[in-house]
């Protein structure tokens, strides 16, 4: 697998630089176009693709991501199609890691944790983030991922209760996603800016050796620079990139070219890739 000896964001961490993860729904753009987009991301030096199995009516996503999921669902893309897609593109990737985001109710509940963990691992996916996992299933989920050798992505908020933070840190074997603020995706930056999360990132460092990635409200090179000042290992860019795909569809532009240009705006400003403070 890509970066197999260094883990998520390993190359960036080794250079004391900020890693970059981007979010897209499988099926938006369509899978043949997404294949080209994944190859472009790999060539562009993006560390991680958070690839979501599309599901409807997400309570944590804003209108941009919801429309994207609806388009992907209209393309007939589900759990099996997403895993098959990753299995097909994985052999050609040199460095890009793929973390799967799957909603438990829509995509995972039909199978046992052992079965879905094995299916995800066998596809070549590098880690799994389960959305909406019922608390009663968490022990079986964690154990199934360990048995499958599948790293886990967990998440918490700056204001999450200590027990929630501790659980997220304990099971973050892929990376820990620090969601910068409550609300729906695409709803803006935290009030003190991403750099203001430094105390939270510092406290998480005491709880986990896994990388810490900050998302929500990250859409520009300046935002990436602010995330770097927080001391996090990576920034996650979601709605802003999904909006680029949507605009390309509406205008008839090439989504891959449009997304490549967007990545360039994020990564060419020196301070957006600077080291931790």
Q: What pLDDT is stored for residue 268 in this prediction?
A: 75
pTM across the whole model: 0.91
Report the alpha-carbon distance of residue 74 to residue 189 in Å, rounded.
31
For residues 3 and 15, the answer to whether their CB atoms sit within 8 Å is: no
The terminus-to-terminus CA distance of the chain in angstroms comes to 30
* Catalytic residue chosen out of the listed positions 17, 42, 50, 246: 50
Nearest residue to 92 (alpha-carbon basis) of 25, 151, 48, 35: 35
**Averaged pLDDT, 230-253:** 96
Report the alpha-carbon distance of residue 154 to residue 139 in Å, rounded.
13
For residues 235 and 33, the answer to whether their CB atoms sit within 8 Å is: no
144 Cα distance to chain centroid: 21
Other CB atoms within 10 Å distance of the CB of residue 188: 13
Is there a catalytic annotation at residue 103? no
pLDDT bracket for residue 189 (50, 70, 90): low
Other CB atoms within 10 Å distance of the CB of residue 16: 10
For residues 165 and 204, the answer to whether their CB atoms sit within 8 Å is: yes
- The pLDDT tens digits for 26-49 are 999 999 999 999 999 999 989 999
pLDDT bracket for residue 192 (50, 70, 90): low
- The pLDDT tens digits for 45-101 are 899 999 999 999 888 788 999 999 999 999 999 999 999 999 999 999 999 999 999
31 Cα distance to chain centroid: 18
Backbone angles phi, psi at 72, to 5 degrees: -65, -40
Report the alpha-carbon distance of residue 117 to residue 135 in Å, rounded.
17
Nearest residue to 131 (alpha-carbon basis) of 100, 91, 98: 100
Report the alpha-carbon distance of residue 230 to residue 15 in Å, rounded.
17
**Helix axes 113-122 and 79-89, enclosed angle (nearest 10):** 30
Q: Give me the residue spans of the domains in the chain.
A: 10-271
Other CB atoms within 10 Å distance of the CB of residue 21: 28
Report whether pLDDT(17) > 80.
yes
CATH code assigned to 10-271: 3.20.20.70
For residues 244 and 33, the answer to whether their CB atoms sit within 8 Å is: no
* Catalytic residue chosen out of the listed positions 61, 103, 223, 246: 61
Is there a catalytic annotation at residue 254? no
């Amino acid at each position: 697998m890509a970066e197999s000896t260094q883990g998520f964001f390993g190359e960036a961490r080794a250079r004391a630089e900020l890693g970059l993860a981007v979010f897209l729904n499988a099926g938006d753009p369509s899978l043949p176009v997404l294949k080209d987009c994944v190859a472009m991301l790999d060539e562009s030096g993006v560390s991680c693709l958070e690839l979501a199995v599309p599901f409807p009516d997400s309570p944590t996503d804003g209108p941009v991501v919801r429309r994207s999921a609806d388009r992907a669902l209209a393309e007939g893309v589900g759990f099996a199609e997403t895993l098959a897609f990753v299995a097909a593109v994985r052999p050609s990737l040199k460095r890009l890691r793929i973390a799967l985001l799957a909603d438990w109710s829509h995509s995972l509940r039909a199978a046992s944790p052992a079965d879905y963990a094995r299916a995800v691992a066998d596809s070549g996916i590098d880690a799994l983030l389960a959305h909406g996992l019922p608390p009663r299933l968490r022990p079986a989920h964690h154990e199934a991922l360990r048995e499958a050798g599948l790293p886990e992505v967990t998440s918490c908020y700056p204001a999450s209760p200590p027990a929630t933070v501790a659980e997220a840190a304990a099971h973050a074997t892929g990376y820990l996603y620090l969601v910068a603020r409550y609300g729906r995706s695409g709803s803006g930056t935290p009030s003190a800016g991403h750099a203001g999360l430094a105390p939270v990132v510092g406290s998480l460092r005491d709880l986990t050796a896994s990388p810490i990635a900050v998302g929500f409200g990250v859409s520009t090179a300046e935002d990436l620079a602010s995330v770097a000042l927080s001391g996090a290992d990576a920034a996650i860019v979601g709605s802003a990139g999904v909006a680029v795909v949507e605009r390309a569809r509406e205008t008839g532009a090439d989504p891959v070219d449009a997304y490549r240009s967007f990545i360039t705006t994020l990564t060419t400003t020196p301070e957006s890739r600077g080291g931790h403070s």
